[in-house]
Amino acid sequence: GAVVSQHPSRVICKSGTSVKIECRSLDFQATTMFWYRQFPKQSLMLMATSNEGSKATYEQGVEKDKFLINHASLTLSTLTVTSAHPEDSSFYICSARTTGTRETQYFGPGTRLLVL
């Protein structure tokens, strides 16, 4: 199946700093990527839909100035958590959507963020 990578896999940072997470589709082009957040023992919560070359679409309640998304190419989307606070600590997962008749989405391995 298709491969999606995420970097870094885990990051610890101090409160007030910004953290950038990269999501890459390795063997296919993805015009659309999704960013999810997952709390312990809960399902995935969609944060935003990232479309190549245009502004991301944020879900209700997600601050666009706090979670900056850039989808500069067909294989790369980045999520930057700005001025991180401890409550931003979570597991962030990206996915990339393939195109065509058998469209599906594949997930990256996730990034565990811990803000101290």
Partner 1 sequence: EDKVVQSPLSLVVHEGDTVTLNCSYEVTNFRSLLWYKQEKKAPTFLFMLTSSGIEKKSGRLSSILDKKELSSILNITATQTGDSAIYLCAVAGTYKYIFGTGTRLKVLA
Binding site for partner 1 (CB under 8 A): 1, 6, 34, 41-44, 46, 49, 57, 93, 95, 102-110
Q: Tokens 């399902």 identify what position? A: 43
Which residues are 57's β-sheet partners? 49
Compute the least distance from the CB of residue 22 to partner 1, in Å: 15
Contacts by residues 47-53 (CB-CB < 8 Å, ≥ 24 positions apart): 47/79, 50/77
With contact defined as beta carbons under 8 Å apart, do 58 and 47 qualify? yes
Compute the least distance from the CB of residue 78 to partner 1, in Å: 17
Q: Tokens 């565990």 identify what position? A: 112
Closest CB to partner 1 among 32 and 78? 32
Compute the least distance from the CB of residue 29 to partner 1, in Å: 18
Closest CB to partner 1 among 84 and 96? 96
